[in-house]
Copies of this chain bind each other. A is one copy, B any other.
Amino acid sequence: MYAVEVRDHIMVAHSLRGEVFGPAQRLHGATYVVDVAFFREALGADNIVVDIGRALDALKATLHAINYVNLDDHPALAGQLTTTEFLCRYVFDRMADAIREGKLGAHAVGIDRMRVTLNESHVARAWYEAAVAH
């Protein structure tokens, strides 16, 4: 199994409803340093997993939609509990859409799986990994 992973980041505000979140129920914020890993069984043309330039562009475009915002007020996230885990899945689904829409180029048709990691501090992070449907 081959993989390539790229990194970008977002800075968001949000609040988390539910007793389990303690002080995070208040409006606060986070820097999420976001890693997206693309997996495939065999290398494609050009000996690559994915066009890394397009992967970085697609990640930037995906993150742009939720960067420098208060997620509590974001139309696409209305009523959602925007935990780090949830946001991993949100980025995963948008990146999978980008692959299907051809935004990562022809190489990306061979991508089997993807993993999205959100690093939220020096002591905590979360990720979501799954197969990519084509």
Contact = CB atoms under 8 A, between A and B. Distances in A.
A98 interface: no
Contacts of A130: 1
A29 B4 contact: no
A126 interface: yes
Interface string A1-42: 111111111011110001011111011111111000000000
A126 B4 contact: yes
Contacts of A112: none
B83 A31 contact: no
Contacts of A26: 68-70
Contact of A70 (B13, B43, B47, B129): B13
Nearest to A87: B47
10 contacts: A2-B126, A2-B127, A7-B124, A9-B121, A20-B107, A27-B70, A28-B67, A29-B29, A29-B30, A122-B123
